[in-house]
Amino acid sequence: DNNTTWNLGLGVGRDRIGSTNDASLHERRRTLELTAGVTQALTPTDLAQLSLTVSRGRGYFSDPYKDPDIRPDRRNIGILLA
């Protein structure tokens, strides 16, 4: 009985940030996201799932429409789902 499902995922984001309030704003942001997980069927009605997601971003994370809004230029995120 093949009751196990594995998953892998990759996401890449490349953004250009501008503002209608500030024409001189020309920034970039890059994000890489990896996810891996497993799902196991325990009974015909019960599942167990475990997933891990890691995301790393660099670039402009501030909100150009909030003043002042100054955020770091790097963002690391880890998510564990059980």
Task: Tell me the pLDDT tens digit for each residue of 5-14.
Answer: 999 999 999 9
- Number of separate helices (H) and strands (E) present in the chain: 0, 4
pTM: 0.77
Q: Mean pLDDT in the chain?
A: 93
Q: pLDDT: is 66 or 39 the higher one?
A: 39
Q: What is the mean pLDDT of residues 34-55?
A: 96
What mean pLDDT is predicted for residues 38-60? Answer: 95
Burial pattern 45-77, b for ≥16 Cβ within 10 A else e, equals: eeeeeeeebebebebbbbeeeeeeeeeeeeeee
